[in-house]
Chain A
Amino acid sequence: MKLGYFPGCSLESSAREYNESLQAVAPLLDLELCEVPDWNCCGATAAHSLNHKLALALPARTLALAERAGFDELLVPCSACYSRLAATRRDLLANEALRQEITSIIELDYVGSTKVVSVVDVLGRAAPTIRAKASVPFLRKVACYYGCYLTRPASLTTCARPEDPQEMEAIVASAGATPLDWAFKIDCCGAALSVSRTATVAELAGRIVADAAERGAEALVVACPLCHTNLDLRRPAIERHRGVSYALPVLYITQLVGLALGLSERALGLHRHHVPVRFAPGAAAPAAAPKEN
């Protein structure tokens, strides 16, 4: 199946391994990712807290380019990008005058034929394939962490139970993992405060890591680059703040699926994490694949 693909800025920088693992997993699930030509930044928090039209025009341009390229669906792995693109599509379709204004700003037409989908949407559909092809089932307890944007606002997402989502649980279960019932799966990780107020992030992300660890999770599973940053990169701050150290790796859901499909740690970018991806000897260690390079 052919999908338009908008990696967004973070998948080219801080979340390279999300991109690498997604690209590695896609062909095994019969997905062909076609990057939108000449895409641009979605504007993220910066645009929509400063200028409403800019916040619409930036995602609209990417959407228009995807539409022009003829994609029915546009895969947006980053949760913030996903939220901005989906919100822009909804707002433009609901207001014809606004749509005309924004399309004249970006000098591209956009009628809304391209839908915005998340990695969780796409992997959810592929769950039967994952189950069938999982040669190295990921037989571990994991805590699926959604963060804010993947399920909310409820009017924007496809999530059936925004307050207690189950979509990631279904995907990791198809890869052999045991999803845990835990308390913080939709709590905020601190998001962009990662840069400006690290102490706040240490508190917020710390609660998430602590609850998952206390409930016996062997990994946190995420589908958002910023969540990953706060739970992984900010781990030293969390540990200092709580006075506890946690050996709890944070996996992108694509990495977990990739491990189950038998891909190598290197191909999935596990070596890029700050919290080492190491598991206690258990039912199934991640595939001891041959080191590349």
Chain B
Amino acid sequence: MPRIGVFICHCGENIGATVDAAAVAKAAGELPGVVHAVDYKYMCSDPGQNLIKEAIREKKLTGVVVGACSPRMHEPTFRRACAEAGLNAFLCEMANLREHCSWVHEKLPETTEKAIDLVRVMVEKVKRNRPLFPINVPITKTALVLGGGIAGIQAALDIANAGHPVVLVEREASIGGHMAQLSETFPTLDCSQCILTPRMVEVAQHPNIRLYTYSELESLEGFIGNFKAVIRKKARGIDEATCTGCGACIQKCPTKKIPSEFNAHLGHRTAIYVPFPQAVPNKPVIDRAHCTYYRTGKCKLCERVCPTKALRYDQEDLLVEVAVGAVVVATGYEVKGTDFFPEYGYGRYKDVITGLQFERLASASGPTLGAIRRPSDGQVPETVVFIACAGSRDPAKGLHYCSKICCMYTAKHAMLYKHKVHHGRPYVFYMDIRAGGKMYEEFVRRAIEEDQVSYIRGRVSRIYEKNGKLIVKGVDTLLNSRPVEIAADLVVLATAMVPQPDAEALAQKMKISYDGDRFLNEAHPKLRPVEMNTAGIFVAGACQAPKDIPETVAQASGAASKVIGLFSKDELSREPVVAVVNRTAPPLFSTCVGCFLCETACPYQAIEREEIKDRNGNVLKTVARVNQGVCQGCGTCVALCRSKSIDLQGFTNEQVFAELVAL
């Protein structure tokens, strides 16, 4: 005979103010099989848990139903309490009287009635619960880091320094990401490349880091602790082991006028190239779309000048399979181009540039070697207008969010310009100045007060060209609130930060969630900021939301510490909510008839084929078997099984039907 205990929680006023908890407990006490039923103000508190433990011991309970909040919240708490009192944790069930009842209904007799129904349903279920035991799965202690910007570099170094192997995958020919493109960094104005390149070298030399540049994730399968990743190593066209990175091929390449991605299209590169001088690895790639040899079948000049004969024109993409236990996604961001803004010329005006392009103009390694010269004619601009919030915080443009870094880098740009062109006149159009951060506000004040940058609060409605000047039409919303027109030589748009163009495709490939703006969704916006909802996958950097370098590095270290924490155990304990195929006595062995409909239905490839053999090794029957390490407990196979041979532990057909009958 079952001996069930029912514990009704008031959750302070959350449940108690709407549901008559005492009445629920009283009604539950009268249900067949229930031998104990009480209510208490906070069941999750220590005294509340003790009520459960004592009742289990004294009343020799065979099952427990806690009528409280969502099982997402406190099921682990109550199951642990049951286990401590000697009851198998999986003999404890929760009836959700808060989210499913008190929070969504008014205080009415029917609300209490519904609460009683919910409890009765779970009592009928728990009567049919069986003791279950957690499944242990081994952990592959290797991490996969996607993206070799500052976020990926930091995460990879932290994990590698803790002693775990790391596979770092970068899509471009070199690691470094956007940070390598930046000139100086706010609020200290130290050189971005100078602080980044030592980290890049450290990655390349780290014995625990295997670096795949010019590579992309092809597929990801498996689950926490046991992922299988396939990496597409795109054909570089050279043999990396033989190439010494001397650069002779780059100097001789006849195709020299390809817009340089690294210089944000302000400079040129050759068809065989390294993105920038400090590239890691310093080995070139051939851009096959532009290479004369691949386009016409003739040239091969690079092969002739290569001292080590490292060119491999027939090289093909290589698929590499790696087993990893955790993944850190750090795929970064892009900025909107000037062509996104019809009112700012739709990309027609050469001297309307993005903030990222200004970084390249201001950078010593950039196309102008750090001199501020406008792209159209190379003149030093006398008047520069910076427009903050270009696209960001603009519902009409479809981008509601704040890109977060623009206020700071715009102040930095105006300052850098003023430091290089002393007589220049910088203007900044802004909506608000968001300078939250250590020394950030002081930095902006410095731009305004010491470097005399003119800040104009208002937006720009249009930019047009007239007599060689860019006329910037805007409004000053302070003081007299008047329209303003500035004849500028250069306009810098702080264009919105957006996810990589293929962020959505990558998220779908990895089965991780993303928001309406295509940024990745962390598991909890406050309390689980570096985890994804998919266990074993973590996130760092601007692919999750716009953020600056300090914040990105902090999040990367956070993600790394989560990975290291996961790798600190040898085995993972998983909930035993998995499907099982029944086994019966010979000669039947199982009611499974071996149709393997389940095999095609399973979204996780968890169904295996098991051959049942006699002592002589003759196959008697082939039946389905569920790989408990892979099964996610979705129940699709259960619904499809024609002979009703599969059941889901913890949610058996018998349990679910009993719940329905009790309603």
A contact residues vs B (CB 8 Å cutoff): 154, 161-164, 181-183, 211, 214
Residue B471 interfacial (CB < 8 Å): yes
List of B residues within 8 angstroms of A181 by Cβ = 348
Query: Which residues of B lie under 8 Å from residue A161 when comparing CB positions?
Result: 342
A154-B396, A183-B471 as given contacts; A164 in contact with B466, CB under 8 Å: no
16 example contacts (A-B, Cβ-Cβ < 8 A) are as follows A154-B396, A161-B342, A162-B342, A163-B341, A163-B342, A163-B343, A163-B462, A164-B342, A164-B343, A164-B346, A181-B348, A182-B464, A183-B464, A183-B471, A211-B466, A214-B466
Q: Chain B residues near A162 (CB, 8 Å)? A: 342
Q: Judging by beta carbons under 8 Å apart, are A183 and B462 in contact?
A: yes
User: What distance in Å separates the Cβ of A54 from its nearest Cβ neighbour in chain B?
Assistant: 29
State in angstroms the CA–CA spacing of A181 and B471 once bound together.
14
Report the Cα distance A211→B471, complex, angstroms. 12
Closest residue of chain B to A161 (Cβ to Cβ) is B342
Q: A163-B341, A164-B343, A183-B464 given. 15 additional CB < 8 A pairs?
A: A154-B396, A161-B342, A162-B342, A163-B342, A163-B343, A163-B462, A164-B342, A164-B346, A181-B348, A182-B464, A183-B462, A183-B466, A183-B471, A211-B466, A214-B466
Q: Which residues of B contact A182 (CB under 8 A)?
A: 464
Interface residues of chain A: helix, strand, loop or mixed (majority): loop
Interface residues of B (CB under 8 A from A): 341-343, 346, 348, 396, 462, 464, 466, 471
Give the chain A neighbours of B464 by CB distance below 8 A.
182-183
Measured in the bound complex, the distance between the Cα atoms of B343 and A164 in whole Å is: 6
Closest to A183 in B: B464
Give bound CA distance, A211 to B462, whole Å. 14
Q: Which residue of B lies closest to A160 (CB)?
A: B342
User: What residue in chain A is nearest B473 (Cβ atoms)?
Assistant: A183
For B344, the closest partner residue in chain A by CB is A163
Task: Report how far A205 CA is from B348 CA in the complex, Å.
Answer: 26
Measured CB to CB, the nearest residue on chain A to B396 is A154
- Shortest 4 CB-CB distances between A and B: which pairs? A164-B342, A183-B464, A163-B343, A163-B342
Complex CA distance for A164 and B340, rounded to whole angstroms: 11
What CA separation (Å) do A181 and B466 show in the bound complex? 11
- Docked pose: A214 CA to B464 CA in angstroms: 13
Using Cβ atoms and an 8 Å threshold, which residues of chain B touch A154? Answer: 396
What chain A residues lie within 8 Å of B396 (beta carbons)? Answer: 154
- A211, B466: Cα distance in complex, Å: 9
A182 to B346, CA, bound (A): 13
Which A residues are CB-close (under 8 A) to B462? 163, 183
B351 shortest CB reach to chain A, Å: 16
List of B residues within 8 angstroms of A211 by Cβ: 466
A183 contacts which chain B residues (CB < 8 A)? 462, 464, 466, 471
Shortest Cβ gap from A2 to chain B (Å): 35
Contacts of A214 in B (CB 8 A): 466
Residues of the A chain whose Cβ atoms lie less than 8 Å from the Cβ of B343:
163-164
Distance between Cα atoms of A164 and B346 in the complex (Å): 8
Q: For the complex, what is the distance from the CA of A223 to the CA of B466, rounded to whole Å?
A: 26
Residues of chain A within 8 A of B342, CB atoms compared: 161-164
Chain A nearest Cβ from B399, distance in angstroms:
15
Please report the C-alpha to C-alpha distance between residue A161 and residue B342 in the assembled complex, in whole angstroms: 7
**What's the least CB distance linking B287 to chain A, in Å?**
33
Q: How far is the CA of A183 from the CA of B472 in the complex (A)?
A: 11
Residue in B341, B462, B471 with the greatest tally of chain A CB atoms within 10 Å = B462
Q: A163 to B343, alpha carbons, bound, how many Å?
A: 5
Chain A residues whose C-beta falls within 8 Å of the C-beta of B471 in the assembled complex: 183
For residue A164, which residues in chain B have a CB less than 8 angstroms away from its CB? 342-343, 346
B348: A residues at CB distance < 8 A = 181
When chains A and B are docked, how far (Å) is the Cα of A214 from the Cα of B466?
10
Q: How far is the CB of B353 from chain A (nearest CB, A)?
A: 18
> Whole-angstrom distance from the CB of B493 to the nearest CB of chain A?
14
How far is B396's CA from A163's CA once the two chains are assembled, in angstroms? 11
A146 to chain B, nearest CB (A): 12
Chain B residue, CB-CB nearest to A165: B342
A228–B506 CA distance with the chains assembled, in angstroms: 53
Interfacial chain B residues near A163, Cβ < 8 Å: 341-343, 462
Please measure, in the bound complex, the distance between the C-alpha atom of A181 and the C-alpha atom of B462, giving whole angstroms: 13
B303 to chain A, nearest CB (A): 47
Taking the closest CB of chain B, its distance from the CB of A274, in whole angstroms, is: 28
In angstroms, Cα B283 to Cα A178, docked, is: 51
**How far, in angstroms, from A182 to B464 measured CA to CA in the complex?**
8
B199 to chain A, nearest CB (A): 42
Closest Cβ–Cβ distance, residue B475 to chain A (whole Å): 13
- Give complex CA distance A154, B397 in Å: 11
> Nearest B residue to A164 by beta-carbon distance?
B342
B549 to chain A, nearest CB (A): 33
